[in-house]
Chains A and B, each alone.
Chain A
Amino acid sequence: MDVLQKSSERIPLSQRPEYADVKPVPQDDGPNPIVPISYTDEFRETMDYFRAIYVADERSLRALQLTTEAIKLNPGNYTVWQFRRLVLEALNADMNKELDFVDGIVEGIVEGNSKNYQIWHHRRWVAENLGTDASTRELEFTKTILSKDAKHYHAWSHRQWVLQALGGWKDELTYCELLLKDDIFNNSAWNQRYFVVTRSPLLGGLGAMRESEVTCTVNAIMEHPENESPWRYLRGLYRNDTHALVKDPQVASVCLKILTAKNNYVHALSMLLDLLCHGFQPSLEIRNAVYGLSDSGAQGSDLVKVVCSILELVDPMRANYWKWRRNIVPAQAAQCLKDDGLTGLSL
């Protein structure tokens, strides 16, 4: 770990005059420690001094410095972060400098360790103190993290919080588009896209955005029909409005194209299944495309049953799911007819 490699430059706390009057407090694991831990000397010394300051509740500059060193040694230690906040408050510290500090911690630590709740929560606390002025910086910061790991859950969570608490929505949809251009499979970016489209005060909301979003989504699907995310996004665009989903020619059309191409068609079949279950009337072309994917005996059979049979074969891991879909279809179809007020009409 690169933090510990710097040990040779470090002056032990016991040799620093500014800490001369501090009596270090060793870790108390109890009289018969079940899980006694051995520390490296540097770690032990730093934590012993931290404990002394913590127990004395000393909220001074040297206390701040100790939390800095303790955090660098172990950024996961939540008690140290919490005490640091108390010290920062007491010192009425410069919150912008504190963001610099967190930047440094994130940069300096080993890959993977930025998946640490403490750092992000601390960041949020500092940004809250700074208010809307921090918006740009925080969006930039999360962008930097996401450029290294575009699915970083904490970064996305922080970014969503920043947008809602501090503002900065203007370029967010564009940012999502950029990320998706980099990796069309990035589910986090799709999720953020939905977040922006539905919550941004600058756009018109889902209703206003739907048509253009459907077009973008359909294009993404055509690029990679095996990509789970845009299919889900498409369903999300029509949440609570399945009728409109069924009626949208773009949706039926993309299914047809993929089924005809006979490549990576599992999700397309699954979407077709959903449409059929909600009253979609398939064209002859769609019927033929489906029959083209199954064995020769399928022609003339109930299309839904054929779709399910194909899915059971090509997605065997989820065979039970597709079997279940096949079995509930009669009930679903009847429900749809009822909903459309078409009870009494034969299929």
Chain B
Amino acid sequence: MGELAVEKHVKFILTIEKEKDSFESVVMEHIRLNGAYWALTTLDILGKLNTVDQDEVISWMMQCQHESGGFGGNIGHDPHLLYTLSAIQVLALFDKIDALDIDKVSNYIAGLQNNDGSFSGDMWGEIDTRFSCVAILSLALLKRLDKINVEKAVNYIVSCKNLDGGFGCTPGAESHAGQIFCCVAALAVTGSLHHVDKDLLGWWLCERQVKSGGLNGRPEKLPDVCYSWWVLSSLIMIDRVHWIDKEKLIKFILDCQDKENGGISDRPEDAVDVFHTYFGVAGLSLLEYPGLKAIDPAYALPVDVVNRIFFGR
């Protein structure tokens, strides 16, 4: 079996975060906060978070925050739940959640819950179970879940459950591994996993593993490294991860590495990016690949970070 080229991946992350000229950098400008979360969490899992200047990151990040308390994807961008979670997660990595006015941020998030329990991503009203997840994870990390109507939030998520046991973005939408992760994580964090038919969903999830050992996100689609996270973390949360072939999945992820230049891609031989690098490394951590920090399957943060938040030092 191949090996994880840790040093190369660390170098890859540190380089692209500084790269000035790539088209990718330019078009990802507005989601830089997500990029920061992917990059920094990967570094932490690899034990290299200290290679980054924490103060610089935080100082830049705080400038992404708005009057409303929400964070935009970069400085000068409108606030949105997605970037707000990334900001909280990055601060959690650095043990600096107290840099936030917690009430202000929680009020922003809570204000986006709708009457049916769903969440809008921002003031423009797009509804998606991704936002339910993001809101719930954010508030849980801030210890302010009491600011929303948890019961209604759970009911909305349950209304998105499909005949195959999976979840979609809205009621009736096709089950998709990314959405399933969002719903299962939100249910896990709110103590509501009893709403999940674990055997039925577990079976759907384990059927995502294809011949190559990789995982796809829906029936008859191609495998992609990012599903190593979404499918795997979901299986772990519902206690069914032993239903996939872990060795084959590890091999698939390792085959997606660019061992020369660092980084991980969606599938073998494709171009790498920081998004898939994060999901590949996070997936390997869930698979207990040696030398990696353990990652929490619901919060998508290292376990020691989560423990620090909920159980003190």
Show the binding face of A for B, using Cβ within 8 Å. 1, 27-30, 32-40, 43, 51, 54, 74, 76-79, 82, 85, 117, 121, 124-125, 151, 153, 156-157, 160-161, 185-188, 191-192, 194-195, 198-199, 227-229, 232-233, 235-236, 239, 316-321, 324
Asked if A82 and B126 make an inter-chain contact with CB atoms under 8 angstroms apart, the answer reads no
A160 and B170 contact, Cβ closer than 8 Å, known pairs A78-B73, A186-B220, A321-B243: yes
Nearest A residue (CB) for B75: A28
For the complex, give the distance between the alpha carbons of A321 and B203 in Å.
8
13 contacts between A and B (CB under 8 A): A1-B23, A34-B17, A34-B56, A51-B76, A76-B28, A82-B78, A187-B218, A187-B220, A192-B174, A318-B206, A319-B245, A321-B202, A321-B243
Specify which of B26, B27, B169, B174 lies most central, judged by the most chain A CB atoms within 10 Å of its CB. B174
Chain A residues near B122: list those with CB within 8 A: 82
Cβ A228 vs Cβ B207 within 8 A: yes
Asked if B221 CB lies within 8 Å of chain A CBs, one says yes
| Selected contact of A38 from candidates B21, B30, B203, CB within 8 Å | B21
A157-B169, A236-B163 given; A318·B207 CB < 8 A: yes
Is A161 within 8 A of B72, CB to CB?
no
**CA of A85 to CA of B162 in the docked complex: distance in angstroms?**
34
Q: Which residues of A contact B207 (CB under 8 A)?
A: 228, 318
Report the interface size for chain B: residues with CB under 8 A from the other chain.
Answer: 59
B172, A232: Cβ atoms closer than 8 Å: no
B173 and A156 within 8 A (CB): yes
Most buried by A among B21, B175, B219: B219
Evaluate whether A30 and B78 lie within 8 angstroms (CB atoms) in the complex, with A195-B172, A228-B219 already known: no
Closest to B57 in A: A34
Beyond A28-B75, A318-B244, is A35–B17 a contact (Cβ under 8 Å)?
yes
User: Within the complex, what minimum Cβ distance (angstroms) separates A246 from chain B?
Assistant: 17
Interchain CB contact under 8 A, B31 and A35? no
Question: B259 near A: Cβ within 8 Å?
Answer: no
Which single residue of chain B is at the shortest CB-CB distance from A324? Answer: B243
Question: What's the nearest-Cβ distance from chain B to residue A83, in Å?
Answer: 8
Residues of B within 8 A of A35 (CB): 17-18, 25, 32, 35-36, 60
A198 to chain B minimum Cβ distance, whole angstroms, is: 8
B293 contacts partner chain A, Cβ-Cβ < 8 Å = no
In chain B, positions 58-116 with a C-beta closer than 8 Å to chain A are 59-60, 63, 72-73, 75-78, 80
Smallest Cβ distance from B230 to chain A, in angstroms? 13
B7 at interface (Cβ–Cβ under 8 A)?
Answer: no
Let me know if A239 and B76 touch, CB within 8 A: no
Knowing A79-B72, A153-B176 are in contact, say whether A318-B221 is a contact too (CB < 8 A).
Answer: no
Residues of A within 8 A of B169 (CB): 153, 157
